[in-house]
A and B are shown apart, each in its own frame.
Chain A
C-alpha cells in the first residue's frame, strides 16, 4: 500500500515539476518584466526617501541646503526611473496599437 502511494506521489511530483518544460517555452528568463520590476522598486524607494527627507526637513532636522541637495538627488533617481518605466510601457504597447490599427 505504501509503495503504491509512493509511486503515485512520485508520478504526480514529476508531472507537476516537468510541466513547464513540456510546453516548449523558450522565452528568456527575466527580460522586460525584470527590468520593469527593478524600475518600479527604484521609483518607490526614491519616493519613500523623498517623503522621509521632507519630514526631517519640516521637523527642523535638516538645513535647507542639505535638504535641497539630498532631495535633488532622490528626485533625479525617481524621475529617471519614471522616464525609463514610461519608455518600457510605450515599447510594450506598440504591437497592441499596431494590431488595433490593422483592425
Chain B
C-alpha cells in the first residue's frame, strides 16, 4: 500500500510538471488544445493526490505501523479520531495536506477563471502547478509520508498529547485552507500581469479568493487561540509566539487588500499597491510555513521543527524575486487613472487603514525575526517577546478602530465639514456615553476606556448604516422595516456583510481588552474543605480523585464554586500524566459567562491531600469567541454572490437613483 502512495505522489509530480510546460507552450502558441491538456493534467494530479491521501488515511485508521509516519503519530491507546487527525499532526502529513488542498483549490480556480477571464487560465495553471511542484518535490524526494519500516513496531509513539484536542484537530487544516488559499489570488495576479490583463479585472478577480483565504486564516487563528486557552493551561490565548505571528502577518496583509481593492473597483486607483499586497500575502504564507517547519525560532509549536526550512527559504526567495520582477515589468500598465481628491474622503480612510495594517504586519515581522537578525549581526540571540508587541501593536490597533468607525461615514471623493458634523454627532455621543458608563462602573485605566468608547462609537456607526439603508428602502419602496433589512443586506451583501464582520471585530477587541487588562489571578494551596477567593468567586477544594484514560493517569481536584452565597456548582481541575513518563497536560476547570471566565488549573498536590491551584478570572473572554461567530456570519454574507444588477439601470440612470439599495 505504501508503494501505491509513493507512486501516486510521483505520478502527481510528473503531471504538474507536464501541466506547467503545456500551459506555457499553450499560451505561447495560443493553442486551446494544449491548454486544455494542461488543465486535465492538473485534474489528474489532484486525483492522484487524493489517492495518496486515502492511502495515508487508511494506514492511520488501521494503525499500520509498517508506515514510519503512522508509527510516529499513532498508538494503540489513542482515540480513532485522533489517529485520523494525525494526518496533519506531523510534517510529512501536513505537507501532503498542503498539496491536497492546493490541488482542490486549483481545480476550483481554473474552473472559475476559465468562466470569467479565460485568457488567464494558462498563467494560473503554470503558477499553481509550479507551487504544487515544489510541495510534491518535497514529498517525493525529501520527506515522504510513505516511508516504511523494515521491522514494524508492535505499538506506535502516538501524537504529542497536547494535540489530542478537538480544537487542535481542526486548527491546522483551517489554517492551511487560509495559507494555501492565498496562492490562488497570487496565481491570478501573476497570470494577469504576464498576460497583460492586470488592469482590466485581473486583480479584482483575485478579491473573492482573498476574502475566502482571509476568512479561513481568521478561523484558523481563532481555533488556535481556543486551543491555547483550553489546553495549554496558562490562562491566555495569544502569546505572540512566532508561529502564531506567522499566521497573523498574512492575515493583516490580506485584510489590507480586502479594503484597498474596493478603491480599485470604485476609483481605479491603487492597482500597483494591490498587486504588491497579493504578492506579499503569498510570500508571508510561505514564510509562515518556513517559520513553522525550520525551527529557526523557538515556539510552542516546536513539535513541527525540521530541516526543511532552508528549502522553503530558497523557494520563497525565488517566488518573490520572480513575482516582483513580473510586477516591475508591468508596472506602467498598473498606473491608476485617478488620484486622491481630498484628504477627508473614504479613499483616504482606506489608504490610512492600509498603512496601519501594514505597520502592524511590519512590527510583528520585525519582532518575530529579531532574534535571528540580532544573532546574525551581534552573535547574540535577543528575544523581544510579548512586551515589544504589547507596546507597539495596541496604539496602531486603536488607530484602526477609529478608522473602522470613521471610514463608513466618509463620502467617496470628499466629505464636507457639514456632512462630517452631521454624521459624527450620534456615533460620537454613543462613544461618550459608553465612556461615561465604564467610568461610572469604576474603570480608571485610560487605554481600556478609550477602546470601549471607540467600540461604542463604531457600533453606533454600524447601527446607523443599517438604519440609513432601511430608511431609504422604506421611503422608496414602502417596505416594512424587517423586510427592508433583509432586502438591504441581500442586495448589498459585500457592504453589509463587511459591517457585520466589523461588529465581530469589535466584540473581539473588547474581549481582548477586557481579558488582558482586567484579568486577576492567584495561586492557592488548599487542604480539602478549604476555600480561596478570586474576583467575585469563592472556590472550595473538596479533595483529589484519580482515574486512568487513554494511556494517562488523570489526577483531578474536585472543586465547588460560589458567588456570594450562591452555589454555582462543581468543577474539576485535572492533570493528565502520560504513562510514557514524558508528557503531561492540563484539564482546565472553566466556567464561562459573558461577564467573565473562572479558569482554574491544578498546579500540584501533596501526599496529605493538599492541592495547589492557579485561579484566574478573565473578563469578557466569551466576547472573543462570540466575535468569531459574528465574523463568520458577516464573512459568509459578504462572500455570497450578489444579485445581478439590472442592465436597465445604465440605460435609465434616473431609475438607479430611485432604486437605491435595491
A: residues with CB less than 8 A from B are: 2, 5-6, 9-10, 13, 16-21, 23-30, 33-34, 37-38, 40-63, 66, 69-71, 75, 78-79, 82
The answer to whether B472 touches A29 (Cβ under 8 A) is no
Which of A50, A62, A71 contacts B645, CB < 8 Å? A50
Question: CB of B644 within 8 A of chain A?
Answer: yes
B489-541 at interface with A (beta carbon < 8 Å): 491-492, 495
**Chain B contacts of A21 at CB under 8 A?**
33-34, 37
Binds A, one of B179-187, B427-435, B610-618, B647-655: B647-655
The answer to whether A6 touches B660 (Cβ under 8 A) is no
Question: CB of B320 within 8 A of chain A?
Answer: no
**Chain B contacts of A50 at CB under 8 A?**
645, 649-650, 653, 656
The answer to whether B44 touches A13 (Cβ under 8 A) is yes
Which of B15, B469, B662 contacts A59, CB < 8 Å? B469
Measured CB to CB, the closest approach of chain A to B123, in angstroms, equals 11
A-B contact pairs, 9 of them (CB 8 A): A5-B4, A28-B30, A29-B26, A29-B121, A41-B204, A47-B646, A47-B647, A52-B492, A82-B650
Which of B44, B205, B656 contacts A17, CB < 8 Å? B44
B456-503 at interface with A (beta carbon < 8 Å): 465, 468-469, 471-472, 476, 491-492, 495
The answer to whether B657 touches A78 (Cβ under 8 A) is no
Having A2-B7, A29-B122, one finds 10 other A-B pairs with CB under 8 Å, namely A6-B11, A19-B37, A24-B33, A29-B27, A30-B30, A37-B116, A43-B647, A54-B660, A55-B472, A61-B423
Question: CB of B448 within 8 A of chain A?
Answer: no
**Chain A contacts of B660 at CB under 8 A?**
54-55, 57-59
**Chain A contacts of B416 at CB under 8 A?**
63
- Alpha-carbon distance between A58 and B660 when the two chains are bound, in angstroms: 6
Q: Type the 1/0 row for B259-293, where 1 means its CB is closer than 8 Å to any CB of A.
A: 00000011000000000000000000000000000
Task: Considering the complex, give the chain B residue whose CB is closest to the CB of A67.
Answer: B657
- Alpha-carbon distance between A45 and B660 when the two chains are bound, in angstroms: 17
Question: CB of B48 within 8 A of chain A?
Answer: yes
- Alpha-carbon distance between A42 and B412 when the two chains are bound, in angstroms: 21
Which of A18, A38, A58, A75 contacts B650, CB < 8 Å? A75
**Chain A contacts of B51 at CB under 8 A?**
9
Measured CB to CB, the closest approach of chain A to B203, in angstroms, equals 12
Question: CB of B3 within 8 A of chain A?
Answer: yes
The answer to whether A9 touches B657 (Cβ under 8 A) is no
Which of B200, B413, B644 contacts A70, CB < 8 Å? B413
> When A55-B492, A62-B411 are in contact, do A45 and B204 touch as well, CB less than 8 Å?
yes
**Chain B contacts of A52 at CB under 8 A?**
266, 492, 495
**Chain B contacts of A54 at CB under 8 A?**
656-657, 659-662
Chain A to chain B: the 6 pairs with minimum beta-carbon distance, closest first: A58-B660, A47-B645, A20-B36, A59-B468, A25-B33, A34-B118
Task: Considering the complex, give the chain A residue whose CB is closest to the CB of B122.
Answer: A29
The answer to whether A20 touches B200 (Cβ under 8 A) is no
Measured CB to CB, the closest approach of chain A to B336, in angstroms, equals 13
The answer to whether A51 touches B35 (Cβ under 8 A) is no
> When A42-B200, A47-B645, A58-B660 are in contact, do A2 and B4 touch as well, CB less than 8 Å?
yes
Question: CB of B393 within 8 A of chain A?
Answer: no
**Chain A contacts of B301 at CB under 8 A?**
none
- Alpha-carbon distance between A50 and B412 when the two chains are bound, in angstroms: 13
Count of B interface residues, CB-CB < 8 Å: 72
From A30, A33, A50, A75, residue with most partner B Cβ within 10 Å: A30
Question: CB of B386 within 8 A of chain A?
Answer: no
- Alpha-carbon distance between A24 and B37 when the two chains are bound, in angstroms: 12
Task: Considering the complex, give the chain A residue whose CB is closest to the CB of B644.
Answer: A44
Measured CB to CB, the closest approach of chain B to A57, in angstroms, equals 7
**Chain B contacts of A13 at CB under 8 A?**
11, 15, 44, 47-48
The answer to whether B492 touches A26 (Cβ under 8 A) is no
Task: Considering the complex, give the chain A residue whose CB is closest to the CB of B659.
Answer: A54
The answer to whether A58 touches B649 (Cβ under 8 A) is no
- Alpha-carbon distance between A5 and B115 when the two chains are bound, in angstroms: 35
**Chain B contacts of A49 at CB under 8 A?**
265-266
Measured CB to CB, the closest approach of chain A to B140, in angstroms, equals 14
Measured CB to CB, the closest approach of chain B to A36, in angstroms, equals 9
The answer to whether A57 touches B657 (Cβ under 8 A) is yes
**Chain A contacts of B37 at CB under 8 A?**
17-21
Q: Type the 1/0 row for B284-322, where 1 means its CB is closer than 8 Å to any CB of A.
A: 000000000000000000000000000000000000000
**Chain A contacts of B4 at CB under 8 A?**
2, 5-6
**Chain B contacts of A55 at CB under 8 A?**
469, 472, 492, 495, 660-661
Question: CB of B117 within 8 A of chain A?
Answer: yes
The answer to whether A30 touches B201 (Cβ under 8 A) is no
Question: CB of B32 within 8 A of chain A?
Answer: yes
**Chain B contacts of A26 at CB under 8 A?**
31, 33
- Alpha-carbon distance between A40 and B43 when the two chains are bound, in angstroms: 27
Task: Considering the complex, give the chain B residue whose CB is closest to the CB of A62.
Answer: B411
**Chain A contacts of B50 at CB under 8 A?**
none
Measured CB to CB, the closest approach of chain B to A22, in angstroms, equals 9
B184-213 at interface with A (beta carbon < 8 Å): 197, 200-201, 204-205
Measured CB to CB, the closest approach of chain B to A95, in angstroms, equals 19
**Chain B contacts of A82 at CB under 8 A?**
647, 650
- Alpha-carbon distance between A30 and B236 when the two chains are bound, in angstroms: 54
Question: CB of B583 within 8 A of chain A?
Answer: no
Measured CB to CB, the closest approach of chain B to A10, in angstroms, equals 6
Question: CB of B381 within 8 A of chain A?
Answer: no
Question: CB of B351 within 8 A of chain A?
Answer: no
> When A28-B30, A29-B30, A50-B645 are in contact, do A61 and B409 touch as well, CB less than 8 Å?
yes
Question: CB of B119 within 8 A of chain A?
Answer: yes
> When A54-B656, A54-B659, A66-B413 are in contact, do A17 and B200 touch as well, CB less than 8 Å?
no
